[in-house]
């Protein structure tokens, strides 16, 4: 048949109908995948994650991006950072990946003979002290705390911790409204990374440098005393944060936790935060000077989980982590957008490194032992 204008028109019309039908059957996401090459086969991966990151992995935007670009669906099960790399009841379940809240955990995973294939830091979150406005104001008046631009810094952190060791009362520190002796609380350092990191910070503060096994022997009793004063310690950073908000100034006058937790709370609960921040007694974030930062490494334990390491460092995921959950990037920087939070320091420069795995193991052994 001759290819004349009429036949050509019919052919193009038929092609157009077929193409339109194809779009309807395939759908816009499939078309996007065919065009961009971002339509990989889907793989479900399960692993253990620190409770402070659960809301991030549940975020529909995060789940969609991981699925659409990388073909990954995560089954994330909450566990303490220390537990997930050391508790046989968890490790023998053979998770495909782990996402604790400290790079030291990658070292401990290797020491415990877990099959670590790859690990890379995804986020950073400085360890901070959360308090309440009357307490912060009293500590500022007593010289423990200084205001620097928009943020509060505990410039005498070692001295404040010594006040706990010496059993000073809140009245001694100029906070007569609080009952009893000075106390700071955090999670169980044998299970959760926020408590683990706080123990590391104490070890560094009392050593005057990065702690060593030798300094732990010297300072271990003081560190243990601070943890003993806490009483019951929760196993999850998320539940400890909720207890801080629920129990208020009387129950939780000072807690050690992550900077990201307040930011994420404000973003998720704007009305509640509006009421809290205008109250006479309101939450206050204090940066220890110096502090340690929690570097959240993703650890691949199976070949199928190797792509997760690259996926979680995707720039768009990093931006979501900051703008919707308050996690800084892997180098400690904030994102382009995100929240404007009173008391948030744009740059946390007063940092001391975490002690190495051998030092932390010695410290954990001391905290595990009865006094």
Please determine, for residue 3, whether its predicted confidence score (pLDDT) is greater than 90: no
Beta bridge partners of 24: none
| Cβ(86)–Cβ(36) below 8 Å | no
| Fold matches, 41-124+295-325 and 125-294+342-368 | yes
Could you tell me the pLDDT band of residue 40, with boundaries at 50, 70 and 90?
low
Strand 97-99 versus strand 293-300 pairing type: antiparallel
Question: What does the block give as tokens for 57?
Answer: 């992995």
Taking 3-state DSSP, the helix, strand and coil percentages for the chain, each rounded to the nearest 5, stand at 50, 15, 35
| Domain spanning 41-124+295-325, CATH class | alpha beta
- Residue 175 class from Cβ within 10 Å (0-12 exposed, 13-18 middle, 19+ buried)? buried
Mean local confidence (pLDDT), 300-319: 93
Burial category of 137 from C-beta neighbours within 10 Å (exposed 0-12, middle 13-18, buried 19 and up) = middle
pLDDT tens column, 97-115: 999 988 899 999 999 999 9
Domain boundaries along the sequence of the chain: 41-124+295-325, 125-294+342-368
For helices 259-268 and 315-325, give the axis angle rounded to 10 degrees.
80
**Which residues pair with residue 77 across a beta bridge?**
48
* Highest mean pLDDT, choosing among 17-26, 181-190, 259-268: 181-190
Cis peptide before 290, with omega less than 30 degrees from 0?
yes
The CATH number, out of the four listed (3.40.50.300, 3.40.190.10, 3.40.228.10, 3.30.70.240), of the domain defined by the range 125-294+342-368: 3.40.190.10
Angle between helices 237-251 and 193-207 (to 10 degrees): 70
d(CA 121, CA 332): 11
- Residue 233 predicted with pLDDT over 70: yes
Residue 328 pLDDT exceeds 90: no
Q: How does residue 91 score in pLDDT terms, banded at 50, 70 and 90? A: very high
∠ CA 132-151-198, rounded to 5°: 65
pLDDT at 30: 45
Structure confidence at residue 332 (pLDDT): 62
Enter the pTM of the model.
0.81
pLDDT at 308: 94
Distance of CA 352 to the CA centre of its chain: 18
- Asked if 233 contacts 194 with a C-beta cutoff of 8 angstroms, the reply is no
Over pLDDT 90: what percentage of the chain? 61
pLDDT band at 371 (very low <50, low <70, confident <90, very high): low
């Amino acid at each position: 048949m001759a290819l004349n204008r009429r036949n050509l028109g019919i052919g193009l019309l038929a092609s157009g109908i077929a193409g339109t039908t194809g779009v309807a059957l395939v759908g816009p996401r499939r078309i996007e995948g065919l065009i961009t090459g971002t339509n990989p086969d889907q793989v479900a991966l399960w692993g253990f994650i620190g409770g402070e990151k659960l809301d991030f992995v549940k975020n529909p935007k995060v789940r969609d991006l991981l699925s659409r670009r990388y073909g990954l669906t995560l089954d994330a099960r909450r566990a303490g950072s220390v537990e997930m790399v050391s508790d046989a009841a968890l490790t023998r379940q053979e998770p495909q990946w782990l996402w604790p809240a400290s790079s030291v955990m990658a070292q401990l995973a290797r020491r415990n003979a877990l099959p670590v294939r790859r690990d890379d830091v995804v986020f950073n979150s400085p360890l901070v002290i959360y308090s309440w406005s009357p307490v912060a104001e009293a500590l500022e008046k007593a010289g423990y705390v200084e205001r620097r631009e928009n943020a509060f810094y505990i410039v005498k952190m070692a001295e404040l911790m010594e006040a706990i060791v010496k059993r000073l009362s809140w009245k001694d520190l100029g906070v007569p409204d609080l009952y009893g002796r000075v106390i700071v609380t955090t999670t169980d350092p044998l299970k959760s990374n926020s408590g683990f990191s706080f123990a590391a910070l104490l070890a560094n503060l009392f050593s005057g440098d990065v702690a060593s096994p030798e300094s732990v022997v010297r300072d271990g009793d003081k560190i243990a005393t601070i943890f003993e004063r806490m009483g019951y310690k929760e196993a999850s950073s998320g539940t400890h944060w909720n207890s801080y908000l629920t129990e208020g100034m009387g129950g939780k006058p000072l807690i050690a936790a992550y900077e990201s937790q307040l930011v994420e709370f404000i973003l998720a609960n704007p009305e509640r935060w509006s009421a809290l921040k205008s109250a006479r007694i309101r939450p206050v974030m204090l940066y220890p000077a110096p502090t340690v930062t929690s570097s959240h490494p993703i650890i691949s334990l199976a070949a199928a989980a190797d792509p997760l390491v690259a996926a979680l460092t995707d720039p768009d995921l990093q931006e979501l982590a900051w703008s919707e959950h308050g996690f800084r990037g892997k180098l400690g920087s904030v994102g382009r957008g995100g929240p404007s939070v009173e008391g948030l320091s744009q740059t946390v420069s007063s940092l001391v490194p975490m002690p190495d795995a051998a030092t932390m193991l010695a410290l954990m052994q001391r905290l595990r032992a009865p006094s």
